[in-house]
Structure 1
Amino acid sequence: MLLHQQYTRHGPDYRFGEQMTFLDVKQTFGFSHVRVGRWVTREESLIAANLVFDSLADLAFILNLPPLTLGLRQTLSLAFGHGGQKGVQAHYAPGARELALAKNAGAGALAHEFWHAFDHYVALKAFSRVSGRFKCASDLWLADLPLIEHPLNQRLAEIFRVTLLSEDNLEPSDYVRRAIALDKRYGAQYFAKPTEMMARAFEACIESYQGIQNPYLVSGTHHSALAKEGAYPDEQHRLRIFNALIAYFEPLGMALGKAG
């Protein structure tokens, strides 16, 4: 339960001991709207606001992004303890463009769900000939849709290439092969979905970042049962993916910083 759970975080001090609220979260990270469930007490809301604030600040720090950009130009909303799905830590609802965290089970899923929100948001910015509102960039890349000409879009495509293809670009990466094997093992169509593979790769890179440990932002990519089954990229692969992520997000952050 939120009131009795301790999350040991190591990283920069962004708040200097100040108490945050979800209004601070909204204004600092540029969300269009923040909703807190009616069954969330004031004490729980204050605890959660600090956890979410630190987690989003860590994510912005790791990606070298201005904090305001995490709201995806105020197209993304955030819900806490409101509108969740039973038994689910967190989820991204593309129809509402809302990232929802469960009150008592949302810890560790924020990085994963942020990727889903970003993957959805950037699809129309990066690819042409897109049909449908709920497409993700990772799906469009795998479907070989044409990129809109822009240097940043080339760098985005490089993230997908490094993650999903072998180093010679001729075969699926070992990570993809393991995801396909997991789907066969569990009789599912989940692990090898492009957007899920990318979300797991993204959160794995965030958890492997040296200097920040934040189990509310991300957890389970090293020692969980799924990690032991190969559901995440290995450490060498994570490093290559992370380098591609930074090669994309760092100039994006610089451009947005100048624009701001």
Structure 2
Amino acid sequence: MSGKSSAITRTEQSAGHSRLSRPYFRNGPPHRSGADVSFGDIVKIFGFQSICIGRWVTPAEQQIAANLFFDALCDLQLLLAVPAQVISLNESLSLTFGIGGRPGSCAYYQPQGRILALAKNAGGGSLAHEWFHAFDHYIAGKMFADAKAQSFASALWLKHDSYVPHRLNDYLARAFQLLYLDETGLDESEFFRHCRRYDQMQQQYYYAMPEEMAARAFEQMLERQQLKNSFLVSGCLKGPAAKAGLYPATVLSEQLQRCWLDYFALLGQALQHQSSAGLSK
């Protein structure tokens, strides 16, 4: 199905001028078949720890948001070819919508409490970026023996201190090597160098942070796929950051795609095998 989020409902049509009611493009299958879902449905289906909604979110806005979240998370599951439990990071991840916020930020991931937060009127298109931050944080303890509570695997990889060799971990390690190092493996990559120079010009340290480089590369890789959902990810192929070269070039993005999509496909197969084996006992 092509066009915006499947089957705009009467609730969505009557929600006034909230930015939530703008048409978000998606061309994936109609996961809801035109029906409304609730945030409770999302918790149950994906296994999230919890979802908290801000008190200034109206019932109509909450309904639109639930439908958008559901479609986006289902599309993410399809893109990665994984069971629903991977989307909630083995039931460890919590969501908030329309609560608090950070200056200049429409969405963020908070390691303490493992919370992925989206603002009410500005979070659309940021979900994939923040989800990868959550994954990067979650997987740190699987990839590195001495990972601290708030560590990200992408940043720890540069230290090479306590890497845990594993077939799946090796796919992620290869992606980090492509992102941060040149072909010799001895010097920084051109992408890393460019992001660092950009930060120096802006007198900041943000775009060259390993975890930010990885999240931008991941969301851009998803936006390049045939299945599109602009609530899940948007703005990586065009816009100021893309024009500034703050996303990987095509060749690098394609290399990262092979690492990440192969990783998640193998993870999905392994989890499916475990589930099947458990049912057969």
Answer yes or no: same fold by TM over 0.5.
yes
Structure 2 partner of 1:198 = 214
**1:9 and 2:38 equivalent?**
no
Residue 3 of structure 1 deviates from its aligned partner by 4.6
Match of 1:99 in 2: 116
- Give distance in 2, aligned partners of 1:65 and 1:171: 34
Cα pair 2:196 2:207 within 8 Å, conserved: yes
Give the secondary structure class of the aligned counterpart of 1:14: coil
- Mapped to 2, the partners of 1:137 and 1:145 lie a distance apart of 11
Quote the offset at 1:191 in angstroms: 0.7
Change in Cα spacing, 1:23 to 1:175, as seen in structure 2 (3 Å) is: same
Q: Give the Cα–Cα distance (whole angstroms) in 2 for the partners of residues 4 and 255 of structure 1.
A: 39
Measure how far apart 1:48 and its partner are. 0.6
Question: In structure 2, what is the equivalent of residue 116 of structure 1?
Answer: 133
The equivalent of 1:176 in structure 2 is 192
Amino acid across the alignment from 1:253: G
Q: Given that residues 30 and 69 in structure 1 are in contact (C-alpha distance below 8 angstroms), is that contact kept between their aligned partners in structure 2?
A: no
Letter in 1 for 2:50: H
In the alignment, does 2:271 pair up with 1:249?
no
- After superposition, give the CA deviation of every residue in 1:172-226 in whole Å (9 maximum; x if it has no partner): 22211211111011111111110000000001101111x2121111111111111
**Unmatched runs of 5 consecutive residues or more in structure 2:** 1-17, 276-281
Q: Which residue of 1 aligns with 2:60?
A: 43
The answer on whether the counterparts of 1:2 and 1:44 sit within 8 Å (CA) in structure 2 is no
For 1:119 and 1:80, the matched residues in 2 are separated by 21
Q: CA RMSD in A?
A: 1.4
Query: CA offset at residue 87 of structure 1?
Result: 3.4
Any idea what the Cα deviations from partners look like across 1:105-163, whole Å, max 9, x if unmatched? 00111011001101111111111123x31111011101112222321111221121122
Contact 2:19 2:121 in 1 (8 A): yes
2:204 match: 188
Contact 1:91 1:101 in 2 (8 A): yes
TM-score (norm 2): 0.88
Q: Structure 2 CA distance, aligned partners of 1:53 and 1:185?
A: 40
Structure 1 match to 2:9: none
The answer to whether the 8 A contact 1:35-1:79 is kept is yes
> Is the Cα–Cα contact under 8 Å of residues 20 and 65 in structure 2 kept in the other structure?
no
Determine helix, strand or coil for the equivalent of 1:154: helix
Cα distance between partner residues in 2 of 1:164 and 1:87: 27
- TM-score normalised over the length of structure 1: 0.95
CA change 1:3–1:124 in 2 (3 A) is closer
Number of aligned residue pairs: 258
Which is higher, the Rg of structure 1 or of structure 2? 2
Higher relative contact order (CA 8 A, sep 6+): 1
Q: CA-to-partner distance for each residue in 1:78-124, whole Å, 9 max, x for gaps?
A: 01112322431100011111000100000111011001101111111
Partner of 1:151: 167
| Alpha-carbon distance between aligned partners in 2 of 1:42 and 1:68, rounded to the nearest angstrom | 28
Question: CA–CA distance in 1 between the matches of 2:183 and 2:262?
Answer: 17
Q: Does 1:125 align with 2:142?
A: yes
Distance 1:257 1:14 in 2: 21
Percent identity over the alignment?
A: 42
User: Equivalents in 2 of 1:53, 1:4: separation in Å?
Assistant: 15
